[in-house]
Chain A
Amino acid sequence: DTAVSQTPKYLVTQMGNDKSIKCEQNLGHDTMYWYKQDSKKFLKIMFSYNNKELIINETVPNRFSPKSPDKAHLNLHINSLELGDSAVYFCASSRGRVRQPQHFGDGTRLSIL
């Protein structure tokens, strides 16, 4: 009965490869997010979707492309992976887009060799 689930939990890959991370929530929320936690443990928003519409798009390289097929899913595709992409990526969801607590998945640790 996991609320926000991400797959895979760990991802180890070579520089230059393309990879995807999947996220699903069963909370009935209509807003979903992707965060990046870097080596300094700083959690920073990357993207947010509300009812499949992109509402937050931070200064993120074009190699990162989010896709929301429906309200319950938000995937993250990364092209041409670079060493600096190594981080933990967290998916989150909330009810509504204004001033609501966000519920997080357990993260995907991406390591680039």
Chain B
Amino acid sequence: DQQVKQNSPSLSVQEGRISILNCDYTNSMFDYFLWYKKYPAEGPTFLISISSIKDKNEDGRFTVFLNKSAKHLSLHIVPSQPGDSAVYFCASYGGATNKLIFGTGTLLAVQP
């Protein structure tokens, strides 16, 4: 029962272009969403988050958009850089517990 889904296992983008990573969730009780970046042999690193009271949050080259009616969020990276090549995880909090539920990740490759 996958409550957070990242349907694209991988994405390849040219350096300087926009990377768009997508995430869908099924539980309408989810109210706080996070994106993590993970390099091989390292732990996930927190990138950016968004609360359900907002529909957009921006931090430098990273912007997260939330569409509550569609239960969909996306991470935009502009411009993409080779150092952005990593696995990106979407994660959600919600409901009565403090459990962070992760998606299965999307491998982003930024080509020089």
Chain A residues in contact with chain B, CB under 8 A?
4, 31, 33, 40-45, 48, 55-56, 58, 90, 92, 97-99, 101-107
Q: Which residues of B are in contact with A by a Cβ distance under 8 Å?
A: 31-32, 34, 36, 41-46, 49, 51, 87, 89, 93, 97-100, 102, 104-105
Number of A-B contacts (CB under 8 A): 49
Given A48-B98, A106-B42, A106-B43, check contact A99 B32 (CB 8 Å): yes
A42 to B2, CA, bound (A): 10
CA–CA, A14 and B31, complex, Å = 43
> What are 30 A-B pairs at a CB distance below 8 A?
A4-B43, A31-B98, A33-B100, A41-B104, A42-B104, A44-B102, A45-B99, A45-B100, A48-B98, A48-B99, A56-B98, A58-B99, A90-B43, A90-B44, A99-B31, A99-B32, A99-B51, A99-B93, A99-B98, A101-B46, A101-B49, A102-B100, A103-B46, A104-B36, A104-B43, A104-B45, A106-B43, A107-B41, A107-B42, A107-B43
Decide if A101 touches B44 in the complex (CB within 8 Å). Answer: no
Taking the nearest CB of chain B, how far is it from the CB of A110, in angstroms?
Answer: 14
Expressed in whole angstroms, the minimum distance between the Cβ of A72 and any Cβ of chain B is: 17
Question: Which residues from chain A contact B100 at a C-beta distance below 8 Å?
Answer: 33, 45, 102
